[in-house]
Amino acid sequence: AQSVTQPDIHITVSEGASLELRCNYSYGATPYLFWYVQSPGQGLQLLLKYFSGDTLVQGIKGFEAEFKRSQSSFNLKKPSVHWSDAAEYFCAVYQAGTALIFGKGTTLSVSS
């Protein structure tokens, strides 16, 4: 069965510093990959998605992600973090025949 692993439960980054959130997936075919963000008390908002083509995808709010098939990874990046980026981030893969399979999430804290 497909699965998604986010190795980091909690990360703290200084405002203005760069960010990389890790995501590893297990999927036999070409995966459909997503990153979502959830602010406290809110639903999930899509940051970006990857289906095929360029391995570096751009998303909203200055986020990007790099797909590396050889490493089964889809890491989320941002060059300079803002305090408003503090939230929980979820990586997900679309499992054929069902729906989105989510990782357990990474909570991002931003220090000033």
Partner 1 sequence: KAGVTQTPRYLIKTRGQQVTLSCSPISGHRSVSWYQQTPGQGLQFLFEYFSETQRNKGNFPGRFSGRQFSNSRSEMNVSTLELGDSALYLCASSPNPDRSNEQFFGPGTRLTVL
Residue recorded with tokens 């929980």 = 88
Binding mask 23-52 for partner 1 (x = CB under 8 A): ---------x---x----xxxxxx--x-x-
- Interface residues for partner 1 in 47-86 (CB under 8 A)? 49, 51
Q: How far is the CB of 92 from partner 1 (least distance, A)?
A: 8
Buried b (16+ CB within 10 A) or exposed e, 25-63: bebeeebbbbbbbeeeeeebeebbbbeeeeeebebeeeb
Catalog residues that contact partner 1 under the rule CB under 8 A: 32, 36, 41-46, 49, 51, 90, 92, 94, 96-105
